[in-house]
Amino acid sequence: MVAENNSPGTVLRAAITAECPLQLVGVINAYTALLAEQAGFRAIYLSGAGVANAAFGLPDLGLTTLTEVVNEVCRIVAVTDLPLLVDADTGWGDRLMIAHTVRSLARAGAAGLHLEDQVFGKRCGHRPGKVLISIDEMVTRIAAAVNGRIDDQFVIMARTDAYSVEGLEAAADRAQRYVAAGADMIFAEALQSLNEYQYFTQAVKVPVLANITEFGRTPLFTVKELQGAGVKIVLYPLTAFRVMAAAALKTYQILRQEGTQKRLIASMQTREELYEILGYYDDERQRDAFPLKEKI
Measuring CA to CA, how many Å separate 10 from each of 50, 110, 128, 132?
25, 11, 36, 31
60 is catalytic: yes
With beta carbons less than 8 A apart as the criterion, state whether 91 and 134 touch. no
Whole-angstrom distance, CA of residue 70 vs CA of residue 81 = 17
| C-alpha to C-alpha distance for 154 and 102, rounded to whole angstroms | 9
Q: Which is catalytic among the residues 72, 116, 161, 184?
A: 116
The reply, when asked if residue 147 is annotated as ligand binding, is no
Is 89 a known ligand-binding residue? Answer: yes
> Quick check: is 89 catalytic?
yes
Pick the catalytic residue: 13, 114, 141, 174? 114
Q: What is the DSSP string of 170-182?
A: HHHHHHHHHHHTT
Catalytic residue among 13, 37, 42, 45: 45
Phi, psi (degrees; rounded to nearest 5) at 4: -70, 155
Give the orientation angle of helix 271-278 with respect to helix 30-39, to 10 degrees.
90
C-beta of residue 33 within 8 angstroms of C-beta of residue 85: no
Looking at 37, 87, 151, 184, which residue is catalytic? Answer: 87
Q: Is 49 annotated as a binding residue?
A: yes
- List the catalytic residue out of 89, 161, 184, 196: 89
Whether the upstream peptide bond of residue 21 has omega within 30° of 0, thus cis, is yes
Residue 211 labeled ligand binder: yes
Strands (DSSP E) found in the chain:
22-27, 43-46, 84-87, 112-116, 155-160, 185-188, 208-211, 233-236
| Catalytic residue list contains 20 | no
Find out whether 62 is annotated in a ligand binding site.
no
Is 167 labelled as part of a ligand binding site? no
114 is catalytic: yes
Q: Identify whether 152 is a catalytic site residue.
A: no
- 271 known member of a binding site: yes
47 among the known binding-site residues? yes
Considering just the CA atoms, what is the radius of gyration of the chain in Å? 21
Per the annotation, does 81 bind a ligand? no
CA distance 288 to 85: 38
Nearest to 203 by CA among 179, 219, 220: 179
Given the residues 42, 189, 197, 236, the one annotated as active site: 189
Active-site position among 124, 149, 163, 197: 124
Bind-site residues for substrate:
47-49, 124-125, 159, 189, 211-213, 242, 271
Bind-site residues for Mg(2+):
87, 89
Catalytic residues: 45, 60, 87, 89, 114, 116, 124, 159, 189, 211
Bind-site residues:
47-49, 87, 89, 124-125, 159, 189, 211-213, 242, 271
